[in-house]
Structure 1
Amino acid sequence: MARSTTPSATRKAPKAVTTVPQRLLAEATRLFAERGYDRTSVQEIVEAAGVTKGALYHYFGSKDDLLHEIYGRVLRLQLQRLEAIAGKPDPVEARLFEAAADVVVTSIANLDDTKIFFRSMHQLSPEKQKAVRADRRRYHEKFRALVEEGQSQGVFRPGLSPDLVVDYFFGSVHHLGTWYRHDGQMSAEQVATEYADLLLHSVRQP
């Protein structure tokens, strides 16, 4: 099943970075991507952002907080968009397709952020790791609820484990950072359509 409509925007468009927190996040993201989280110092971040260490500690408290926010802002965006999609009056098939395509597009648009985070999450404090897992669990539960809704309506196969469907699909989404290239043969929308089609084919009643 090929669909022509997927969320727009393939890659994060350049934005005017004007505030101190925005500059710190932009430079931290760039440096973490280029050098790695553990090889980037606070001094290098503040010099690149053109601010003082005092400014960084005022807004973020630590380098750890910067890493946490880099991924947190992506996850908040995705959860907000998923809640809007799930609340639409459209058939559950259409909502699951749109939700699946949207998380692919937004992940690709923020590919550096997600790659940095998954590569460095283990370096967060235990408290922040716990908070991130809780935020991701809320997103996955909302996504899983669409699968369960389709099963209750007889649209999706009743024998499937909704948790397994979610784990299988998001395992593929999290793998995007290892192979997707913005200058490659497929656009973000094309990948999103393929992923969403595969998901719908796997859960739909034969």
Structure 2
Amino acid sequence: MPVQVKSRVRSDQHPRVRLQEAGTRLFYNNGFHATSVRDITEACGLTPGALYNHFGSKEQLLHAIIMDGHAVLGREFAAVSEEQPPVPQLRALIEVFVLHHTRFRKEAMVGDAWRALDETHRNEVRELRLGIRGRVREVIQAGLASGVFTVPSVPGGDAAQFAATAALDMGFRVSSWFDPDGPVSDAAFASFYAEFVLRAVTHAG
């Protein structure tokens, strides 16, 4: 169960923004299925019908939250130059990924409910997730080809893909346990995590 997060929805914000912020908080605290449209609109001081002026359904609200989160992460990934060698490029990608999941914890955990979306929206999110993993896999594969990375072989499997999936899956999970109010800053933690992943792919035997 995630730590309960309370945030005020400002009445001077656009109703769509208020609905999305309230939805994020309530989906995070209570879960998507346990949260009703009335719960969301009441948290904004709006009538239940107000949600349908901006979103076709509760599912579309969830989709908007998830897509906005992926848009931010996509821009952060795109800012990492593909011209860099594998080591600094992988370090930068992992730092970006982990920092994103420590700074947008609620959005990340809500995004894990993507399987509750309809088939079209699920496929859309799946493609975005595969694109992120594909970028990391390509960097690891380039490092393996140049000899700067080494990972155990997997008969019949794609070792670079497994390594990328493992690094990103663990990186995503930090959103459920990293304490932003603790003694370690999110930037320092992201740097630690990137070094942790780099050591895993450079010292594997």
How much has 1:18 moved relative to structure 2? 2.5
Which residue does 1:35 correspond to in 2? 30
Show the 5 A alignment for 1:1-206. 18-87=13-82, 89-118=83-112, 120-157=113-150, 161-204=159-202
Counterpart Cα distance in 1 of 2:110 and 2:39: 17
The normalised TM-score by structure 2 is 0.81
Cα 1:121–1:198 shift into 2, 3 Å: same
SS at structure 1 position matched to 2:80: helix
8 Å contact kept, 2:20–2:61: yes
Counterpart Cα distance in 1 of 2:61 and 2:143: 39
Give the gaps of 5 or more residues in structure 2: 1-7, 154-158
Counterpart Cα distance in 2 of 1:167 and 1:90: 21
Counterpart Cα distance in 2 of 1:158 and 1:33: 36
Counterpart Cα distance in 1 of 2:56 and 2:13: 20
SS at structure 1 position matched to 2:100: helix
The normalised TM-score by structure 1 is 0.80
Moved more, 152-161 or 175-184: 152-161
Counterpart Cα distance in 2 of 1:29 and 1:77: 15
Give the gaps of 5 or more residues in structure 1: 1-13
8 Å contact kept, 1:83–1:142: no
Which residue does 1:5 correspond to in 2? none
How much has 1:141 moved relative to structure 2? 0.8
8 Å contact kept, 1:78–1:106: yes
- Could you give the per-residue CA deviations for residues 140-184 of structure 1, whole angstroms, max 9, x where no partner exists? 111211112223333223766210111110121122133212222
- Could you give the per-residue CA deviations for residues 19-39 of structure 1, whole angstroms, max 9, x where no partner exists? 222111111112222332222
Which residue does 1:8 correspond to in 2? none
8 Å contact kept, 2:66–2:114: no
- Could you give the per-residue CA deviations for residues 30-69 of structure 1, whole angstroms, max 9, x where no partner exists? 2222332222211221232244444422322111111122
8 Å contact kept, 1:86–1:146: no
